């Protein structure tokens, strides 16, 4: 009888475990709001939009600095975009709870930070050296700073296993690279960034086109670029060559929107967006449609998915997408899209252009295989949970066997 009760208990713990794997979203602003000594740090995470970056990532470690430490950083009078680089060095794209932190394999490791991951850092700047030291200390240092370890672990503020860990460190990580004055946004070389980050084919089209100046002129005021992968562009080349020069320009302009849209912003605004090719109402626009973590861009002809971020340096951001965006103004809806949207939309977008987020999503296109690392990490994490679930099931089963 007792054993039966025990197995029932195990059964329930199994259910709890499973449900916990579906509620993963964290909110760094809310986590730090409970810790007034980190209010300045929290404030600047929001101002720099890094809070959005932290919230959308999984398997992440935030190295938090208390108000006194932040004051020493603010005394340097860095611009907001430079401060963003410095703070992004404090967000590690791997999970270190207090326990893992004190048991690093071989006692030392280099961890990639968001500063590195967003493409803003040069060379090895953007990696953080984490080293176990004598007496249970853990030291941190920016790699471009000779790996000299000048900041130390203080305490764990909050941990959600293999999702987010928030750790206090004794002082800000100093890095010449992160603190270097950021180039004015207009000095950002769109073509070179795209070429280096896996969008060479699209960059080559843009380089040779009259569309390029329009992209460059928009950077200051905010620009979001959707860059199709090389294979998508290469497949499209025969059709591109078939377009007149003016239509080629329109097609390229169709891949930019004249505002800065972080991924978090894209995820929370469903609806029609105007592009750089838009002239007048309802021309050359497309619909942003979310489906959980996926952001889809729907023209009437094709549906593309965002598969990665090339650079996110407010006010300029570029994403990689898995298909060339084909505007209905240039391509027939029927001839290219049969597999994309077999069923007609039940809900038409209304005059304002906003689309109900509950409108039926189109059948999933290919391209889900080109996922971001953090998604993979989240899957690994789920894999670990599945392992635990299996073990519990096995245990429960053995006990039932004993009872019989
Ligand atoms: C996170 O929490 C803050 C404060 O509670 C709230 O203002 C903000 O909207 C939340 N963000 C998200 C993405 O839920
Ligand atoms: C630890 O050190 C050994 C021997 O130097 C090396 O082969 C191994 O790759 C190191 N492991 C890690 C995770 O750095
Ligand atoms: C981290 O820095 C320490 C001290 O400078 C150095 O001994 C160690 O090799 C560095 N670790 C890595 C992985 O580079
Ligand atoms: C190019 O245009 C012609 C005439 O409009 C059309 O017949 C042909 O199929 C097009 N080729 C491609 C590759 O789209």
- Distance between CA 21 and CA 245 in Å, rounded? 51
Checking if the pLDDT of 270 tops 90, the result is no
- Distance between CA 316 and CA 222 in Å, rounded? 6
Ligand 3, residue 148: give the atom nearest the CA.
5
pTM, full prediction: 0.54
- Distance from the alpha carbon of residue 396 to the mean position of ligand 3, in angstroms: 46
The per-residue b/e assignment along 309-345, b for 16 or more CB within 10 angstroms, e otherwise, is: bbbbbebbbbbbbbbbbbbbbbbeeeeebeebbeeee
- Distance from the alpha carbon of residue 243 to the mean position of ligand 4, in angstroms: 9
Q: What is the dihedral of CA 257, 262, 263, 264, to 10 degrees?
A: -130
The verdict on the CB of residue 5 being under 6 Å from ligand 2 is no
- Distance between CA 4 and CA 402 in Å, rounded? 10
The verdict on the CB of residue 124 being under 6 Å from ligand 3 is no
**What phi-psi label fits residue 198: left (phi over 0), alpha (psi between -120 and 50 degrees) or beta?**
left
Q: Is 17 exposed, middle or buried (0-12, 13-18, 19+ CB in 10 A)?
A: middle
> Ligand 4 site: residues with CB under 6 angstroms?
238-239, 242
Ligand 2, residue 109: give the atom nearest the CA.
14
> Ligand 1 site: residues with CB under 6 angstroms?
27, 29-30, 33, 55
Ligand 4, residue 238: give the atom nearest the CA.
13
Sign of CA dihedral 113, 29, 222, 309: positive
- Distance from the alpha carbon of residue 242 to the mean position of ligand 4, in angstroms: 6
Strand 271-274, strand 285-291: pairing? antiparallel
Ligand closest to 32 (CA) is: 1
Count of all residues that appear for the chain in the document: 404
Per-residue CA distances from 48 to 30, 201, 206, 214 (Å): 16, 31, 30, 26
The pLDDT value recorded for residue 220 is 75
Q: What is the pLDDT of residues 69-95, one digit of tens each?
A: 999 999 999 888 889 999 999 999 999
Percent of the chain, pLDDT > 70? 74
Per-residue CA distances from 17 to 12, 20, 83 (Å): 9, 5, 39
Residues ≥6 apart with Cβ < 8 Å to 6:
399
Ligand closest to 108 (CA) is: 3
Ligand closest to 104 (CA) is: 2
The verdict on the CB of residue 110 being under 6 Å from ligand 3 is yes
pLDDT category at 268 given cuts 50, 70, 90 is confident
The pLDDT value recorded for residue 187 is 60
Q: Provide the token pair at 357.
A: 């987020």
Average pLDDT, the chain: 79
- Distance from the alpha carbon of residue 132 to the mean position of ligand 2, in angstroms: 15
Higher-confidence residue of 202 and 403: namely: 202
Helices 67-74 and 39-47 meet at what angle, rounded to 10? Answer: 50
Residue of 25, 27, 47 best suited for mutating to test ligand 1, as the one with most atoms within 8 Å of CB: 27
Superfamily of domain 192-335: FAS1 domain (2.30.180.10)
What is the 3-state secondary structure of 308-351? EEEEEECCEEEEEECCCCCCCCCCCHHHHCCCCCCCCCCCCCCC
Domains 25-179 and 192-335 equal at CATH topology level: yes
pLDDT category at 6 given cuts 50, 70, 90 is low
Q: Provide the token pair at 11.
A: 């059964």
The CATH number corresponding to 25-179 among 3.40.50.720, 1.20.1260.10, 2.30.180.10, 3.10.580.10 equals: 2.30.180.10
Q: Contact, 64 vs 164, CB < 8 A?
A: no
pLDDT category at 382 given cuts 50, 70, 90 is very low
The verdict on the CB of residue 19 being under 6 Å from ligand 2 is no
Residue of 103, 105, 106 best suited for mutating to test ligand 2, as the one with most atoms within 8 Å of CB: 106
The pLDDT value recorded for residue 393 is 54
- Distance between CA 76 and CA 83 in Å, rounded? 10
Ligand closest to 326 (CA) is: 4
The pLDDT value recorded for residue 296 is 94
Please state the domain extents for the chain: 25-179, 192-335
Residue range 214-227: mean pLDDT, rounded: 88
Higher-confidence residue of 305 and 122: namely: 305
Sign of CA dihedral 371, 374, 377, 381: negative
């Amino acid at each position: 009888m007792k054993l039966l009760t025990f197995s029932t208990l195990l059964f329930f713990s199994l259910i709890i475990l499973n449900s916990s794997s579906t509620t993963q979203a964290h909110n760094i602003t809310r986590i730090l709001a409970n810790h007034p000594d980190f209010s300045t740090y929290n404030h600047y995470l929001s101002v720099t939009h890094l809070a959005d970056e932290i919230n959308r990532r999984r398997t992440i470690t935030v190295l938090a600095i208390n108000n006194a430490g932040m004051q020493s950083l603010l005394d340097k009078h860095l611009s907001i975009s430079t401060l963003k680089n410095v703070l992004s060095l404090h967000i590690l794209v791997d999970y270190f709870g207090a326990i893992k932190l004190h048991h690093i394999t071989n006692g030392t490791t280099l961890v990639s930070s968001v500063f590195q991951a967003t493409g803003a850092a040069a060379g090895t700047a953007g990696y953080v050296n984490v080293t176990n030291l004598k007496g249970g200390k853990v030291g941190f240092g920016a790699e471009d700073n000779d790996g000299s370890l000048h900041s130390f672990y203080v305490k764990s503020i909050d941990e959600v296993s293999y999702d987010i860990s928030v750790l206090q460190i004794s002082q800000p990580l100093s890095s010449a690279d992160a603190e270097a004055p950021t180039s004015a946004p207009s000095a950002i070389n769109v073509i070179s960034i795209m070429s280096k980050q896996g969008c060479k084919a699209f960059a080559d089209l843009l380089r040779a086109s009259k569309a390029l100046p329009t992209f460059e002129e928009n950077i200051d005021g905010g620009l979001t670029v959707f860059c199709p992968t090389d294979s998508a562009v290469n497949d499209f080349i025969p059709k591109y060559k078939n377009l007149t020069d003016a239509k080629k320009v329109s097609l390229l302009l169709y891949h930019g929107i004249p505002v800065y849209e972080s991924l978090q912003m894209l995820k929370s605004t469903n609806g029609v967006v105007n592009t750089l090719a838009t002239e007048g109402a309802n021309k050359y626009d497309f619909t942003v449609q979310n489906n959980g973590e996926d952001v889809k861009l729907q023209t009437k002809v094709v549906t593309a998915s965002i598969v990665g971020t090339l650079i996110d340096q407010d006010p300029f951001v570029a994403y990689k997408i898995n298909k060339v965006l084909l505007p209905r103004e240039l391509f027939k809806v029927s001839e290219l899209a049969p597999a994309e949207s077999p069923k007609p939309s039940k809900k038409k977008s209304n005059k304002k252009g906003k689309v109900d987020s509950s409108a039926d999503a189109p059948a999933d296109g290919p391209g889900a295989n080109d996922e971001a690392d953090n998604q993979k990490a989240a899957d690994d994490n789920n894999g670990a949970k599945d392992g635990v679930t299996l073990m519990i099931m096995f245990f429960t089963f053995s006990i039932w066997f004993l009872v019989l």
